[in-house]
Chains A and B, each alone.
Chain A
Amino acid sequence: MAEPLFRMARAEALRIVHLDSFVAVFHRSSGLTHLLAAPAPEIMATLGEAGLTRVALAEKLVADFDLEDLDDAALAERLDELVACGLVAAA
């Protein structure tokens, strides 16, 4: 079975405002406002609308943000949270 792809919610479904270390995101589908702290905005931006598998996402985060290592379990939890609130879609 192919690895599932994770995609950021469609750009037109979101309003994103960068505040300080937090990012305010209005999710049009639910009408909810989310205040996100790192690494959630970075995960969304890295996934983009094209989407990545979990493994590819981890590799790209390590490369883009010069991370020495990455806690796979923590990343999986963050990803699950973003899926649960609709900001990321799993396909």
Chain B
Amino acid sequence: MRHVFSVRIGPVGFRVGSTWRTPIEQLEALYANYPRPEVPDFSVRLFPARPWRQFIRPSVTIGGDFMLPDALPLPLAQGLLAAEMGMNLQMALGQRRYLLLHASVVERDGKALLMSGISGAGKSTLSALLSARGWRFMGDEFALIDPETGLLHAFPRLVSLKNAAIDVVTNALPDARFGPLLAGTPKGDIRHLVPDASAVAAMDTPVPPALLLFPSYGFEADERLVPLSEVFVRLTQASTNYVALGERGFDALARLVKTVPARAIDYPDTDSAVKQIEKLWAAL
């Protein structure tokens, strides 16, 4: 393809090809501190659905090694989002080396905190806010668990902030770097936060998981123990490749569920959530 960008995020290398220059320039700027992969694991292609759509109302089709046949193209102004979605799609559909859980991950004292929940639960926001308080950001989308070791590998891609979370995190991290505001996407307004330099510098250091949280936003502050069977079911649902990994996935998940304490927390606002999380962490 005419414009090409390669990046290694944690243990995974991507090659993104694009018909247009703009999404590639944005990726180069936002991923400037990241290494390049020797050999990419996955390819993403951004291209027009019809030749004339390169120029007339340009719209970006997301392709790659793995594709969703009915994915709708995005306007060129959201080309960066298309690239990020393309990279996520390759992971969700193609990753076999690690057990993937839809969760954000931060690290402190050499141990990882996983936060898993539905879209809107605050996974990305909380991971970004904790990174402003001395935690190492390891990822806001996928937790990568090595079935051999049980360790969590960082996948610190750009943090995808949506709608109200954009202002919350911009205020908490005034010196951080952000991508352009992508207004009116299928998920509302989106702005990407660049993980800080320490997150990228330490991304090749895996850590053991120490706490599993299932946050829910919009309720009075509360917490409860989650029974192991519920944790097991929630995490099979939160995994994109549990079935594909077969027995390795079962063993990795069972080990995680049996060895790592799990709590569900309700929180009314992010300040409260951060306090609840720090308290739970201190009590480990």
Q: Which of B177-185, B187-195, B228-236, B271-279 contacts A (4 or more CB under 8 A)?
A: B228-236
CA distance A22 to B233 in the complex (A): 11
Chain A 11-35: CB-based contact to B (< 8 A → 1; otherwise 0)? 0000101011110101010010101
Interface centre among A19, A20, A21, A26 (most CB of B within 10 A): A19
Further 14 A-B residue pairs, CB within 8 A, beyond A26-B247, A26-B251, A33-B236 = A15-B251, A15-B254, A17-B250, A19-B228, A19-B229, A19-B232, A20-B227, A21-B229, A22-B232, A24-B232, A24-B250, A28-B247, A31-B246, A35-B232
The main secondary structure of chain B at its interface with chain A is: helix
How many of chain B's residues have a CB under 8 angstroms from any CB in A? Answer: 14
CA distance A63 to B227 in the complex (A): 30
Is A17 within 8 A of B229, CB to CB?
Answer: no
Q: A15-B247, A28-B247 are in contact. Are A22 and B254 (CB under 8 A)?
A: no
Chain A neighbourhood of B251, CB < 8 A: 15, 26
Contact assessment for A26 and B232 in the assembled complex, using a CB-CB cutoff below 8 Å: no
Q: How many of chain A's residues touch chain B, expressed as a range? A: 10 to 19
What residues of B have a CB within 8 angstroms of the CB of A19 in the complex?
227-229, 232, 257-258
A56 to chain B, nearest CB (A): 30
Shortest C-beta distance, B229 to chain A (Å), equals 4
A7 CA / B246 CA spacing, docked (Å) = 24
With known contacts A17-B258, A31-B243, A22–B250 Cβ distance under 8 A: no
Cβ contacts under 8 Å, B233 to chain A? 35
